[in-house]
Amino acid sequence: MSVFKDYDELYACLSGLYNEAKRDSRVAPKIKDSNLIIQFRYDEPKAIATINAASPPTQEGAYFDVVWGDDTGLKPDVEMNMKADIAHQFWHGKVNLMAALARRQIIAKGPIPKILKLLPAVEPMYEMYPRILQEMGREDLVLK
């Protein structure tokens, strides 16, 4: 059984994480400095989230935009394809990206070295995600 029962549940959890990250001073400037368009393509349930660090953000206080859906008009520099369950584990800090790439749990297209360079930037998100889930009343999704 999948962690997220449907798109709405996945969206609620991950959009909360991305919305906080795009304003976080530990995370957002480093992602913005990459100037990359990074697209996360999730399965089970299907969802697409695109981080646009190549253009100025449209929201006050944000360093980049996050756009949901497949009709964004953006051409990603990097595509990260994975099951939503893998993303859930990754944002808990429980998935080693290199191992997941080798096992094909995550399939990446684009300049992998640039993505690997961003790993230290996203580390604070490993603490944010479980906290956001708890704040949403979804302690049942927090991994121990």
Domains of the chain, by residue range, sit at: 7-136
Q: What is the pLDDT of residues 63-103, one digit of tens each?
A: 999 999 998 999 999 999 999 999 999 999 999 999 999 99
pLDDT tier at 16, thresholds 50, 70, 90: very high
pLDDT tier at 115, thresholds 50, 70, 90: confident
What is the CATH topology of the domain spanning 7-136? Nonspecific Lipid-transfer Protein; Chain A (3.30.1050)
Indicate whether 7 pLDDT > 90.
Answer: yes
**The pLDDT of residue 56:** 97
Average pLDDT over residues 22-33: 96
Question: In angstroms, how far is CA 66 from the centroid of its own chain?
Answer: 9
Indicate whether 138 pLDDT > 80.
Answer: yes
For strands 47-52 and 106-109, give the pairing.
Answer: unpaired
pLDDT tier at 33, thresholds 50, 70, 90: very high
Question: In angstroms, how far is CA 119 from the centroid of its own chain?
Answer: 11
Percent of the chain beyond pLDDT 70? 100
On whether the pTM is more than 0.85, the answer is yes
Indicate whether 108 pLDDT > 80.
Answer: yes
